[in-house]
Structure 1
Amino acid sequence: MGSPRAGDIRKVLDSGCPLPTASSSQPIPAVPPTDPSREGAPDGGTLAWLQVAASFFVLMNTWGIINTFGAYHHFYQLNILRSHSPSAISWIGSIQGYLLMTVGALTGPFFDAGYSRALLAVGSFLTVLGLMMTSQVKQYYQAFLAQGVCFGIGAGMLFVPSIAVVSTYFDKHRSLAVGITASGSGLGGVIYPALFHSLQPRIGFPWTTRIIGLMALVTLAFANLVTRQRVLPATRRKLFDVSALREPPFMLCAAGFLFGFMGLYIPFFYITPYAHFKTGASAALAFYFVPILNAGSVFGRILPNALADRIGPLNTLIPCTFACGVLAFAWTGVHGNVGLLAFAILYGFFSGTFVSLPPSAIVYLSSDLHKVGTRLGMSFGISGLGVLIGSPVGGALLNLGTGHFVRAQVFCAVTMMTSCAFLVLARLTNSGRTLLIKA
């Protein structure tokens, strides 16, 4: 099967289905084609840039807060939920990411029907409610329902409108606009863990979480006030494309994303306890390895994505995925703070590529560009399963009592290498064995 021509992909972009840009913080949701044509896009102006600011705050309070869960995991393990295993606690964070991706894919038809304001309002309410209820948790089921389920559903309802609305206001400067929007999650992944670590010892867990919730309330209220859906799609997107199941490149690529997301977030969840038990890091330094990972990943969504414009998404994604696997294996031999710092920066960098380039790869591998939105939604649903089960499996493999992390580290490495193998097969079945070809 041949790949779509560059001109065809450009038509998809011009119709309102944006690819992830250099600073994308997480996979960009499927956005259906828009009608009327792009000619009327203001491509700037106060209203257009207000949409960028609004969506920036939405991403900061969805993926940005989810990327903070490593900090919560460490606190729960030592305090409120110390009677529960690391695997059980990990389910709280993994269900957040799973629901964000799955609910985000399912909300597409509602956005198509013009309900973006309703999605934002309900999603903002559930997101803030989840955080406020989290501040009251005393037992595991309360944390799971509040921080996991309630927050995850709310974040999923916010995800699609935040990107889709911005894309309809820009044509010439769309990449810049979507890039600024998506960078909000990277900022949130740095700010919120640092805020949690700074405030929790002073004012306690409940008020620290309430302050994070109040920040989300204020910034999401701004997003609700200024967001305006500019155009409606000419056709409504289907949720499932049966023909995709008969295309080996798509299925192999989706399998690669499933295994990749299964192992990708294990360092984000467990690097703090690893530093605490294995490297002799102080409590403060151990805690800050989470924002260091997130900061490294921001750069990983800039340089590799720029390279992907030249050599293709799969040609960029494959070596970066391989690098994540190699680094995960190397992680087993890290026993000092300097080595762990180097690991955090490098792994954050290469993992940033894995979360920003998958939508580009799906567009490249789609033979029918009118089905790109549906196939992106299908890909998110499959990837979400990896997010759901990966970190809890990693938690079940480690033993904090003995400081035994190697099985979780090897699991991370093997899943990333398996992901790389599937992506290589996807490229070979789509583009053949020729190396010097954009793919």
Structure 2
Amino acid sequence: MSRSSTSDEGEKDIGVRKEAGYGEHNEEHEHDDLAEALQPNFAAHDDIEKSTEQPVQDGDGATLTKVQSQYSVNNVKSVPDGGATAWLQVLCSFFVFFNTWGIINAFGIYQTYYENGILAGTSPSNLSWIGSIEAFLLMLVGSVAGPIYDKGYVHELLGVGSFLIVLGQMMLSLCSTYWQVLLAQGIAIGIGTGLIFTSGVAILSTYFSTKLATATGIAASGSSIGGVLYPIIFYKLQPTIGFAWATRVMGFIALFTLGISNLALRVRVLPASRRKFLDLPAWKIKPFLFFNLGSFFVFIGLYAPFFYIQSFVLQTGLMEPNLAFYLLAILNGSSTFGRLIPNIIADRIGPFNVLTPCATMCAVLQYCLISAKSSAAVIVILALYGFFSGTLVSLPATCYVHLAGPTRRGLIGTWMGMGFAFVSLGILCGTPITGAILAAYSFTEVWIFGATFILVGSFFTILSRLAQADWKIFVKV
């Protein structure tokens, strides 16, 4: 594609966006802003009536394939916003979420098993490094995979990432030492999830406009459902067929579901340019800085219940093992609703006005675990915690759209990548520190640590919200 043709197409795209009213950042086009963040700058092929499937060369010599698209994705009229192919992409994205955050959300069942199984004698802090590195790599590699996705290597990312996830799961079944588990589960699966996550999220923005929030919500529920099913599968199979084969069964499930995504995922439009990788001056903007600091501190403490709640109720005698293992399923199950309902409310009152109280509630609920003296109390607290924590995972992307505003729409994807990479550091260090606290003190100090950091993060999120709203309180932001 020549520079002149790209320029002409860019001018067409700008014209279409002006006609569609993109000059104003209002509620009607908020989801379109998010779509552009995830899938920026697509070329318009006005002369293509049908898919030509002809290989072309991009600026770096990479072979890409033209796909059916008469307009830029920024032209809402050209987006299907439904149909069999579009909803098939939702299924593909669902399975991507199922095998990325779904696997990571299920790590608590492994944490409990390792403490009493093949890694008995290893400190809780060292064990939690496995899960935290896994989640850290998902976000870090995911931010790096964005520009690769923009260059057109969608199926390569999905294929390599799927291979690493299945390989890591199968190799995990053969592990017997700590370093082997760390390599297979922490690093291999972590890198694999990071590679495929971007494709699963971004593909939906090219097929949906007004129904984007609904489609994304359905797809994102895969992470919660994966967090429910994977622990149950492991818990039910491990006593009967052993750790190795229980882990392999989970690997075969990942192979089957990701196989569907690899076969059925279809790229509708051809990327015309890659997003900017860094925008360092953004860190001087107070709302952006405060929001990332808030998210960093929140995620340091957020996953303490996900990793340690089963150990807590077993060691304190609050529950029998047969009931205790369901806690992770309850936590992830209620998180499904936390990814859907608050997003609907956020469309009406603004994402910051929803995110801030939800973060504060997570802190309060962790403090409540200190006083939980019965199984019923723990179940109620966890159900509420799952709901409010789901909001903290689903709303940040929309918050970045609001932070960038109408004048920096071309930088939304860049800001997301920088923000997620920074926040991943909080995920990396949070649970290992929690494990070290548990080894030295008790679960009371664990919950105090997690809740306090979430509370500190909530404070910075409030500062971001106030700075974004010019220090006004009763406004939509």
TM-score w.r.t. length of structure 2: 0.86
- Between stretches 355-364 and 197-206, larger displacement belongs to 355-364
For 2:198, the equivalent position in structure 1 comes to 160
**Partner-residue secondary structure (3-state), 2:452:** helix
Q: 1:296 Cα deviation (Å)? A: 1.4
Question: What does residue 32 of structure 1 align with?
Answer: 40
State which of 395, 417, 426 in structure 2 corresponds to 1:357: 395
Q: Which amino acid aligns with 1:389?
A: C
> Which of 379-388 and 44-53 deviates more?
44-53
Q: Which digits, 9 at most, give the CA deviation of each residue in 1:329-383, with x for residues without a partner?
A: 1111112101101111111111111111111112111141210000011111011
Shift of 1:12: 6.4
| Mapping of residues 370-385 of structure 1, within 5 Å | 370-385=410-425
1:146 to 184, 189, 198: 184
Please show how residues 203-352 of structure 1 align to structure 2 within 5 Å: 203-352=241-390
- Please give the per-residue CA displacement for 1:62-93, whole angstroms capped at 9, x wherever unaligned: 11111100000000011111121000000000
For 1:370 and 1:11, locate their aligned partners in 2 and report how far apart those are by CA, in whole Å.
15
Does the CA contact (< 8 Å) of 2:293 and 2:460 recur in 1? yes
**Conservation of the 8 A alpha-carbon contact between 1:15 and 1:38:** no
State how far apart, in whole Å, the 1-side matches of 2:215 and 2:329 are. Answer: 24
Unmatched tracts of structure 2, length 5 or more: 1-21, 44-71
Task: Quote the RMSD (CA, aligned, Å).
Answer: 1.8
Structure 2: how far apart are the matches of 1:376 and 1:12? Answer: 16
Distance 1:394 1:280, change over 3 A: same
Q: 2:217, 2:339 within 8 Å by CA — same for their partners in 1?
A: no
The residue that corresponds to 1:54 in the other structure is: 92
Instruction: Select 2:31's aligned residue among 6, 9, 13.
Output: 13
Q: 1:315 to 1:16 in 2, by over 3 A?
A: closer
**Residues in 2 aligned to 1:209 and 1:264: alpha-carbon distance in whole angstroms:** 26
Deviations 1:371-398 (A, max 9, x none): 0000011111011111111011101101
Q: Deviations over 1:205-241 (max 9, x none)?
A: 1000000000100111111111111113333101111
The letter for the 2-side match of 1:390 is G
The more displaced of 10-19 and 220-229 is 10-19
Tell me which residue corresponds to 2:19. Answer: none
Equivalent in the alignment of 2:438: 398
Alpha-carbon shift at residue 34 of structure 1 (Å): 3.4
Instruction: Please say if residues 245 and 251 of structure 1, whose CA atoms lie closer than 8 Å, have aligned partners that are also in contact.
Output: yes
Q: Between Structure 1 and Structure 2, how many residues are aligned?
A: 424
AA of the residue aligned to 2:25? G
- Structure-2 residue corresponding to 1:181: 219
Q: Residue type of the partner of 1:60?
A: F
What letter is aligned with 2:237?
A: L
Gap change, CA 1:6 and 1:135, over 3 Å in 2: farther
Aligned to 1:107, the other structure's residue is in SS state: helix
Counterpart amino acid of 1:388? L
Q: Residue 31 of structure 1 contacts residue 160 of structure 1 at CA under 8 Å; is this kept in 2?
A: no
Contact (CA 8 Å) 1:16, 1:34: kept in 2 or not? no
Residues 374 and 9 of structure 1, relative CA distance in 2, 3 Å threshold: farther
Assess, with a 3 A threshold, how the Cα gap between structure 1 residues 93 and 209 changes in structure 2: closer, same or farther. Answer: same
Q: What is the CA–CA distance in structure 2 between the aligned matches of 1:146 and 1:331, rounded to whole Å?
A: 33
User: For structure 1, which runs of at least 5 residues remain unmatched after alignment?
Assistant: 20-29
Cα distance per residue 1:392-423 (max 9 Å; x no partner): 110110139x8x21111111011010001101
Change (3 A) 1:266 1:5: farther
Partner Cα distance (1:95, 1:228) in 2: 31
Q: Given that residues 318 and 374 in structure 2 are in contact (C-alpha distance below 8 angstroms), is that contact kept between their aligned partners in structure 1? A: yes
1:18 positional shift: 6.5
Correspondence for 1:131: 169
Question: Which residue does the alignment assign to 2:133?
Answer: 95
Q: Distance in 2 between matches of 1:337 and 1:421?
A: 31
2: CA distance between counterparts of 1:103 and 1:410?
31
* Residues 16/429 of structure 1: CA separation in 2 closer, same or farther (3 Å cut): closer
- 2:66 aligned residue: none
Counterpart in the other structure of 1:419: 457
Q: Distance in 2 between matches of 1:274 and 1:363?
A: 39
Q: 1:429 aligns with which of 444, 463, 467?
A: 467
State the Cα distance separating 1:172 from its structure 2 match. Answer: 3.1
Q: 2:59 is matched with which residue? A: none
Task: Return the offset for 1:245.
Answer: 1.3
CA contact (8 A) 2:151 2:273 kept: no
Equivalents in 2 of 1:279, 1:94: separation in Å? 27
The verdict on how the C-alpha distance between 1:193 and 1:267 changes in structure 2, with shifts beyond 3 A counting, is same
- Which has the larger Rg? 2
Over 3 Å counting, the alpha-carbon distance change for 1:171 and 1:68 in structure 2 is same
Tell me how far apart the structure 1 counterparts of residues 32 and 398 of structure 2 sit (CA, whole Å).
15
Higher RCO (CA-CA < 8 Å; seq separation 6+): 1
Q: Percent identity?
A: 45
* Greater mean alpha carbon deviation, residues 123-132 or residues 356-365: 356-365
Aligned mates of 1:214, 1:352 — CA distance in 2: 27
